[in-house]
Structure 1
C-alpha cells in the first residue's frame, strides 16, 4: 500500500482514508476506517469517467454482485454511494498479499501448498457460482492469501445469470492469459470459463511464470487459444489437473467438485507452514493517514447504506465499451503482461529512433507516410497558424468560447480502439466515412527531408491530415487527432499505473479541432505535433500530455470528425511503436 497523496480526499462518506491500496482503469482503491474503527477497502470511480453511463451501469452492477455474493471466500460489501459523485463502494478489508505478490517475493509454491490453494479457490468459486454469478476475472492479482485462507476479490466484471451484458461485441472480458478461449472467440461466459482461469492462476502459482507467456495482450491471448499451458517442472499429478482445467474445449474441463477431490487435501491450508509464511507478508496497516500529508479537505460525511431499498434488478443495455476493472484492489506484481517487446516487422513499416527510443510507424491502407515532396511549404500548423509554438500550446486554458461553429476542444471519452504493430492495423474500423479524399500522415518534425528506413529525431511525432477533391470554397469540416499511449496512465506520475499494464480504454490526448478546409487552399496539409499540441480534456479542463518515452509500446493515432466537444467520431486510425 502507498501513502495518500495531496490530491486524495481526507474522507469518503463517513470513512477516514488511511492509505492507497491500488488503482486501475475504473478507479482508485483506498484503505479506510469507519467511525467505529472498522477497516474497509473503498473503491472510488475516477472523476473523468463518472459522466459515462456504461461506467456507472457497470459500477452499480458490481455493487449488486458483491452484495449478493456473501461468502467466507469473498470480501463482503459494507457500504456504497450510488446516487451522486463521488461514486464508491466499501468492502471488508482483507489483510494479506495477493497471490501475485507472494509468488513474486517467494517464488513458485511447493506442490502441497499449491494443491491447498487450488482446492480453497475451487471452493470459493463454487460458492460464487451457487449465487448464480461468474467471476470472469480470476487471476493471481485477484486472490488474497489471508490468514484464514484465500479470498476472491474484484467483482468489477462479474456477471449474474439475469444481468445484462455490458461488453461490446469484439471485446472479451477478463485478463489476457487467464481468459478462456470460448470467451475470447465467442464471448461465451460461464462457470467453465472460471475453471479455465482457476487452472491458469494455479499454473502461475506452481511455476512462478505467466501461464501463456508474456508480451502484448494479443499475443498472450493467441497462445491461450492455440497453445498448451506452461507447466514445465510441475509435479505430474498437479500438472495434469492444471492441464485439464485449461482444456480448450469448455466441456472437457472438470467441475469444481472434481477439482477439489483431485487436489487430495488432507489438512487445513492455514496449518501449512509455507502458506502461513505467505500470509504473513501482509503490510502493516497505518492507524492514521501518512504524516506530513497536506492539502486534503475533509468532505461532509454522508452514508449511503446498501441496506435500504433494493436497486433495480437490471439496467438498460449500454454500449459500446467495456471498461477495465481496478485490477487488484490491494496492489500486485503484474503477471499477465511484460514491457512491450519488439513485434515482427512487416512490409510498409517505417522505423524511427527517438533518442534512445525507436518509433515504428505503420503505413496502413488509405494512410500515407509523407515524403519531402509531399510536404513542401503548403501545409499549415493546425493548432493556430504560423505563429503557433510549443510554448504557446502548453499554456492552454479552459476555453470559454471559440470561433463560430468551431468546437473549442474535444472532451474525454472511453475508446477501446488499439493499433497493433503485429498487424499494422487498428482492431476496429472507423466509425464513419471520412470527407472526400481524406489522407493522414505520421512523420518526423525534426528531419522532414529524411527518407531512410531508420533515423534519429527528437522526442516528438508530427501528425498531418488533409482533404482531397477540388479546390474552392467548402463547408467547414472539423478534425481533431487523438494520440493514445498503449496503457492506462496514472495522472500522478504520467506513467502506466504501477503494477498494472492494462490496455488503455480512454481516448488519449487530443489536438485542438481545426477546419480541414481552412486556408486559401482547402486541400492543403494541416499539422499537429505530439506532445506540444495535445492535451486531455476532463470536464472542460486541460491535462498535459506525457512524453513518448513514459510508456513504451504500440501507440494509437485516430483522426476524428468533431461536431461538438462531446460529439466526435473516428474516420481513420493508425499508430506507431515506442521502444
Structure 2
C-alpha cells in the first residue's frame, strides 16, 4: 500500500453513494486497486479500470452484466462485491477490503504451504466456487494471484470480470484473459469455458500452493499455453489423497471433472478450522500459515486503519522574467537620467555586488532552464551581465522535480511474439522510450520492469506478421492482458497504459 499520487481520484460516487479513496493497493491487467472507505466507515477495495477499457462500449456492456452477477454472489470465502458504476467516466467496482496476502505472494516469499494449510485452502476455494457457480457465474481467471489468504481463511476475488476483458475490442479478436499456466485446456484453445474450467484452475492453484511450482512449468506464455493443451501437469512432490484430488480436477475432459459441490463435499472434514466457515469474524482461520505471512496480514490490517498521506501535487516553478538584452544605465540622481555619466574612482573601486548577484541569478537560469525552451548563458559585457539564448539543447529542470520519484518495482511487463522466420521490423515503446528492432527471429520475448513511478506508464507494440503468420501477447506479472494473431503481412499493433 502506498500514498495516492497527485492524479489519483479522491472519491467515487453513484446514486448518492460515495466512497473516499485513501491509498493505492496495487495495479494489474484490468486496472488500479485503491483502499477506500464508505460513508459509514467500512473499509473497501475500489477497482478502477484502465482508460483504454473505459473507452470501449463493448467492455462497458459486459462489465455491467458481470458486475451485476457478481453482486449476487455470497458465501464466506469470496470478497463481496458491494457496488459498481459501469457508466462512470472510468468504470469502477467496490468490494469488501480484506487485509491479506495472495497465495502467489505467500509462496514466493515463504515457500510452499504446509499440508494442512493446503487442505484448508482447498476447502475454502471449493466453497467459494459453490457460491460463484450457484449464481451462474464462471470465474475464468482462478489462479494464485486471485486467492487471498486472510486471518479468517482464504477468499476468492475477481470472479467473472475476466469475461469483460475477453469481450473488449482492446484485447483484439481471439484474446483470452487469464494466467497462462493456470487455464484449462479448453480455455487455452479458445473454446467455450464453463464451470469445469474453474475446477481445472482450482487443481492448478493447489499444485502451486503445495509445491511452489506452476503445474506446466515456466517460460513464455505461448509455451505454457501449448503445454496446458497437450501435456500432463507436473505433480512431483504431491502425494496421497491430495494428488488424487488434484488429478481428478485436472482431467483433460471437462465432463470427467468433479463439480464444485462434489469437491466441497469431498473436502468436508479434511480441512481444519476454515472448513467450518470463515464468515464469522475472529472464528476459523487457516492452519499453519508461515509466520511471515501472518505478520504481513496483521501489518496490512494496521495500514488500512492508518492509510498513508497522499502525495501533494507539486506545481512547476513559475516562468522567470527574461533579463534585459543590454545593461540599463544607472540614474545620476533623483528625477534625472544620465545615459553617458561616468563613475568617479571611488565608485569604480566598490565591490561589483549587482554584477555578482546578477551573475548568480543567470547561473541559476542555466541550472534550471527556462520554460519555453530558452537556455541562457552568461557573458561579461564590461558593464554588467547579458543573458543570451544559447545554441545548445534545452536542459530539463533540476532545481525541483515536478513530482516525487519513489524507487521500486511494481511488476513486470512482457511482450511475446510467437511464430517462425523473421519479423522485418518491430517497434515497442515503454515508459516514453521507443525501441526499434530489425530482422527479429521468432519466437521473441521482451520483459521490462514496471517502476513504481510514474503512476501511469504507456506501452505499445507494433510489427508486421512474417510469412506464415504469427501470434502475440502482452502480459503483466505472467497474466496475459492482450493477445492476438495475424496472417502473413498483417500489421499488428497493441497499446495501453499500466
- 1:53-132 to structure 2, matched below 5 A, reads 53-132=57-136
**How far apart are 1:41 and its partner, in Å?**
0.5
Structure 2: runs of 5 or more not aligned: 275-283, 316-408, 429-434, 443-457
The CA deviation string for residues 192-213 of structure 1, in whole angstroms up to 9 with x for no partner, is 1110000001111011011211
Q: Which residue of 1 aligns with 2:248?
A: 244
Alignment partner of 1:361 is 2:439: yes
Tell me the matched-pair count: 358
Deviation per CA, 1:489-517, whole angstroms, max 9, x where unpaired? xxxxxxxx6xx34445399xxxxxxxxxx
1:166-219 Cα shifts (integer Å, max 9, x gaps): 797633343211111122225221111110000001111011011211222111
Alignment of 1:394-433 (within 5 A): 425-427=469-471
**What displacement does 1:572 show?**
3.1
Note closer, same or farther for the CA distance 1:276–1:217 as it changes in structure 2 (3 Å cut). Answer: closer
Cα distance in 1, alignment partners of residues 418 and 52 from structure 2: 35
Q: 2:482 corresponds to which residue? A: 505
Residues 248, 258 of structure 2: 8 Å contact kept: yes
Match of 1:145 among 149, 155, 174: 149
Equivalent residue runs for 1:207-222 within 5 Å: 207-222=211-226
SS in 1 for 2:182: coil
Match of 2:184 among 180, 184, 208: 180
Summarize deviations over 1:336-355 as a string: whole Å, max 9, x none: x99689x9995557899x9x
The Cα RMSD (Å) is: 4.3
- 1:487 equivalent among 474, 482, 488: 474
Deviations 1:79-119 (A, max 9, x none): 22233313212111111111111111211112221112112
TM-score (norm 2): 0.61
Deviation string 1:55-86 (CA, Å, 9 cap, x unpaired) is 21232123212212122222222222233313
Q: Which of 250, 267, 270 is the matching residue for 1:265?
A: 270
Q: Tell which has more relative contact order, 1 or 2 (C-alpha 8 A, sep 6+).
A: 1
Please tell me whether residue 290 in structure 1 is matched to residue 308 in structure 2. Answer: yes
Question: Does 2:31 align with 1:27?
Answer: yes
TM-score (norm 1): 0.53
1:214–1:425 distance in 2 versus 1, CA, 3 Å: farther
State how far apart, in whole Å, the 2-side matches of 1:114 and 1:179 are. Answer: 20
Matched, 1:201 2:205: yes
Aligned counterparts of 1:3 and 1:19: Cα–Cα separation in 2:
5
Q: Quick check: 2:172–2:482 contact (8 Å CA) kept in 1? A: no
Aligned counterparts, 1:334-353, within 5 A: 347-348=421-422
**Runs ≥4 in structure 1, deviation > 6 angstroms?**
164-168, 337-341, 349-352, 413-421, 556-559
Structure 1 residue 359: Cα displacement? 5.4
Decide whether the 8 Å contact of 2:3 with 2:24 is kept in 1: yes
Higher helix share: 2
Give, in whole Å, the separation in 1 of the partners of 2:57 and 2:459. Answer: 11
Match of 1:275 in 2: 289
Helix, strand or coil at the partner of 2:22: strand
Is 2:414–2:474's contact at 8 Å kept on the other side of the alignment? no
Report the Cα distance in structure 1 between the residues aligned to 2:490 and 2:192, rounded to whole angstroms. Answer: 31
